[in-house]
Amino acid sequence: MAMSSAREEHLRLEGVGVSFGTVNVIPSLDLSVPKGEMVALLGPSGCGKTTTLRTIAGLNKPSKGKIIVGGRDITHVPIHERDMGLVFQSYALFPHMNVLENVKFGLRMRNVPSREAESRARQALEMVQLAHLAHRKPRELSGGQQQRVALARALVIEPSILLLDEPLSNLDAKLRDEMRGQIRSLQQQLGITAVLVTHDQVEALSMCDRVVVMRSGHIEQSGTPTEVYERPATAFVANFVGRTNKLKGTVAADGSLMGLGQVLHAASKPGPGTVDILIRPHRIHVSDGDGAGDAENRVRGEVSNVTFVGDLVQYTVSVAGDEIVVEESTRRGQKMLSTGETVTLAWSAEDTLVFPENQT
Amino acid sequence: MIAESHKRELSAGQLAVVLLLPIALVNVVGFILPILNLARYSFNRARIGGGIEDVFTWENWVDLVSDPFYREILFNSIWVSLCITLVTLVLSYPIALYLHRATGPWKTFLTVLVISPLLTSAVVRTYGWIALLNDNGPVIGIIKALGLPSPSLMFNIKGVFIGLAEILMPYMILALLAGFGRLDPRVEEAARTLGATPARTFREIILPLTLPGIALGCLLCFVLAVSSFITPKLMGGGRVFLLATEIYDQAIVTLNWPRAATLSLLVLIVFGAALWAYSAVMRRLD
């Protein structure tokens, strides 16, 4: 964290607004990306994250504001002079060119001599382990391979910024895990500044130095993955980044928090009034006894449902008329709780996230 | 139930034969037989006054090859049709590209606008052009008013060009659109972000990806241009000699059916050559 703030700024958006016709998709957005960092724009569909990315690339014209890269204002620089590597969600490979020609395209446009272009393109293909498929047409490749060609094509021009638009959303789960690691290590190896657009919190948290959570055209919170996950600024962020139990509660005039029919403890809370209390399922400890330990919050309830997911077991516990979902990772030889058992739930004050009502 | 389903089930092949039979019959009666008949006429001799002498002779075909008049008609027809196809392509391509990118009700409206000329017969449209382009018409009037030298746009090859290009444009646009399937706006954007100027994006991405549409449109319009009769007849004013008009003259005016038949078969051969060229281009593209 301390290191990243010391890094030199590479990309900056200053009050950028985008409108489509009369619809103001992005009212005004400020964003700063340090050199060599990978930043995620995370949010539900329609939050403006792809629009922001396309505006950086020049594919959308901003209605106001400035885009600055490396100290230079590029707001009015045409797309082809922006020097950005964009990886599309649909890959957008050139169907009439083979893999090598696809990768060479950007170099040819830059008038790189053909021999040099050839060797650089081959290097880029080796980087994504596709050198053996250089003469295939895109349609003869699997989704994962096409994705890697798209990545090689964007990286070979040594762009000043790498832009990734939901690059993994068309891949199956296993391949996605693999590609996450591969993209991240390439980005770090090349020290390239990157912006990743995604609606998948796992992708954002695991791949990026910084996560920017967006909602209907504005930024809800910007921070490191741990900050965003552990100290969400709003109920929306808490809910979108990771799963939560949502409970109704009140903060009394004396500042005490009431929920689940008893006093609860939270590290921070808003002023008096009705509140939403959010607790992450896997941060709750469940035990069949009185629940030893030093967690500040402790409630008793009855197990109403047990779902075995494999690496996780989910318990639904009824507490004072509310349902609370608790997750535990499974271990061999572990005794699972069964329906109808009376249990104690325990969690810390730090894991009790309290927000004014109905923010989500 | 089970017993019934065993009763009579056609295999896929048999079903295809049954379903194709009606159209096959129509084609044999309405297309193959008349062509065979034409082929027979082309080896017969014409009698003065319109009769056909049922003898076997090569003389119609020999005339076709040896008579410079027919050679000129053949080359003229092909050349004029190629030029008209090219003009139609150049005029239609931007419209098709725009239509391909348009969305929503605007696209529907424009598509209807493109197709609507097809709802009017070529005769009516040709007379429309004659009214516009004749020596006393408004177009010449405007050119004269501007003080420019006024060309004669009617009853010569220029008129045929203008008329046919306009009549063929809807066909060309529809064929182009049908062949634009591979043109994805994301692919164009990818080229732009990789450093291609709009002009290079057009040359390296848009043009190659729309070649199947171009080939299809050119084939269709060339075939329609070679076989077009009404427009060259009316707008050429009897001074433009093309295959279709000559066939009409031979069959209806001179009553020389064997010669008309021979010329008709020649048109068919030209079509065959065009189709061969088209499939050669498509093979190359794949």
> Using one digit for the tens of pLDDT, what is the confidence trace for B202-252?
999 999 999 999 999 999 999 999 999 888 888 888 778 889 999 999 988
Phi-psi group of B106: left, alpha or beta (phi > 0 → left; psi -120 to 50 → alpha; rest → beta): alpha
Q: Give pLDDT tens digits for A165-178.
A: 999 888 888 888 88
B191 touches chain A (CB under 8 A): yes
Enter the DSSP assignment of A79: G
Residue B196 to residue A86, Cβ atoms within 8 A? no
Q: Give pLDDT tens digits for A82-122.
A: 999 999 999 999 999 999 999 999 999 999 999 999 999 99
Query: Does residue A280 surpass a pLDDT of 90?
Result: yes
B103 touches chain A (CB under 8 A): no
Residue A105 to residue B191, Cβ atoms within 8 A? yes
Q: Are A173 and A205 in contact (CB under 8 A)?
A: no
Could you say which of B189, B196, B200 has the minimum Cβ distance to residue A92? B189
Question: How far, in Å, CA of B168 to CA of B232, rounded?
Answer: 13
Which residue, B119, B89, B116, is CA-closest to B219?
A: B89
Which residue, B33, B61, B26, is CA-closest to B261?
A: B61
Residue B186 to residue A110, Cβ atoms within 8 A? no
Contacts of A351 (CB under 8 A, 6+ apart): A279, A280, A283, A284
Which residue, A268, A198, A270, A278, is CA-closest to A237?
A: A278
A106 touches chain B (CB under 8 A): yes
Question: How far, in Å, CA of A146 to CA of A137, rounded?
Answer: 10
Specify the number of domains making up chain B: 1
Pairing of strands A38-42, A193-198: parallel
Tokens of A349: 């004050």
Q: What is the identity of the amino acid at A31?
A: L
Could you say which of B186, B192, B209 has the minimum Cβ distance to residue A90? B186
Residue B193 to residue A105, Cβ atoms within 8 A? no
Which residue, B249, B272, B268, is CA-closest to B259?
A: B249
Q: What is the DSSP string of B128-179?
A: HHHHHHSTTSHHHHHHHHTTPPPPP-SSSHHHHHHHHHHHHHHHHHHHHHHT
> Which chain B residue lies closest to A90 (C-alpha atoms)?
B186
Question: How far, in Å, CA of A237 to CA of A212, rounded?
Answer: 10
Which positions in chain A touch B193 (Cβ < 8 Å)? 57-59, 79-80, 82, 84-86
Residue B24 lies in a domain: no
Where does the pLDDT of residue A291 fall: very low under 50, low under 70, confident under 90, or very high at 90 and above?
A: low
Query: Does residue B6 surpass a pLDDT of 80?
Result: no
Could you say which of B182, B186, B208 has the minimum Cβ distance to residue A88? B186
Which CATH fold topology does A243-356 show?
OB fold (Dihydrolipoamide Acetyltransferase, E2P) (2.40.50)
Contacts of A25 (CB under 8 A, 6+ apart): A18, A19, A48, A51, A217
| Cross-strand partners of A246 | A278
For A300, phi and psi rounded to 5 degrees? -110, 145
Residue A54 CB neighbours (<10 A): 20
Q: What is the identity of the amino acid at A58?
A: G
Which positions in chain A touch B106 (Cβ < 8 Å)? none
ipTM score here?
A: 0.84
Give first-to-last CA distance, chain B, whole Å: 49
Query: Does residue B5 surpass a pLDDT of 80?
Result: no
Question: How far, in Å, CA of A64 to CA of A46, rounded?
Answer: 20
Residue B112 lies in a domain: yes
Residue B163 lies in domain: 67-285
Residue B20 lies in a domain: no
- Compute the nearest-CA separation of A124 from chain B (Å): 15
Residue B165 lies in a domain: yes
Kindly report the CATH number assigned to the domain that includes residue B97.
1.10.3720.10
Q: What is the DSSP string of A122-161?
A: HHHHHHTT-GGGTTS-GGGS-HHHHHHHHHHHHHTT--SE
Q: How many residues can be counted in chain A?
A: 360
For B193, phi and psi rounded to 5 degrees? -70, -25
Which positions in chain A touch B209 (Cβ < 8 Å)? 95-96
Q: Give pLDDT tens digits for A169-226.
A: 888 888 888 889 989 999 999 999 999 999 999 999 999 999 999 999 999 999 999 9
pLDDT of amino acid A2: 41
pLDDT of amino acid A21: 85
Cβ-based burial of B151 (10 A; exposed 0-12, middle 13-18, buried ≥19): exposed
Could you say which of A90, A96, A157 has the minimum Cβ distance to residue B194? A157
Query: Which of B103, B183, B184, B194 to mutate to test binding with chain A, by most A CBs within 10 Å of its CB?
Result: B194
Where does the pLDDT of residue B64 fall: very low under 50, low under 70, confident under 90, or very high at 90 and above?
A: confident
Which residue, B242, B247, B248, is CA-closest to B226?
A: B242
- How many contacts, defined by CB atoms under 8 Å, are there between A and B? 64
- Compute the nearest-CA separation of A94 from chain B (Å): 6
Question: How far, in Å, CA of B14 to CA of B19, rounded?
Answer: 9
Which positions in chain B touch A93 (Cβ < 8 Å)? 187, 190
pLDDT of amino acid B172: 96
Question: How far, in Å, CA of B176 to CA of B150, rounded?
Answer: 35
Residue B114 lies in a domain: yes
Residue B80 lies in a domain: yes
- Compute the nearest-CA separation of B199 from chain A (Å): 11
Residue B170 lies in a domain: yes
| Cross-strand partners of A213 | A42, A221
Residue B190 to residue A92, Cβ atoms within 8 A? yes
Question: How far, in Å, CA of A42 to CA of A44, rounded?
Answer: 7
Residue B100 lies in a domain: yes
Could you give the residue ranges of the DSSP H alpha helices within chain A?
2-6, 49-57, 99-109, 114-127, 143-155, 173-190, 201-207, 225-230, 235-240
Domain ranges of chain A: 2-235, 243-356
Under CATH, which architecture does the A2-235 domain have? Answer: 3-Layer(aba) Sandwich (3.40)
Question: How far, in Å, CA of A317 to CA of A338, rounded?
Answer: 11
Question: How far, in Å, CA of A151 to CA of A124, rounded?
Answer: 9
As a dihedral over the C-alpha atoms of residue A60, residue A63, residue A68, residue A73, rounded to 10 degrees, the angle is: 100
Q: What angle do CA A100, A103, A108 make, to 5 degrees?
A: 105
User: Which residues 112-151 of chain B have a CB within 8 Å of chain A?
Assistant: none
Where does the pLDDT of residue A6 fall: very low under 50, low under 70, confident under 90, or very high at 90 and above?
A: low
Tokens of B176: 């182009």
For A6, phi and psi rounded to 5 degrees? -80, -20
pLDDT of amino acid A311: 87
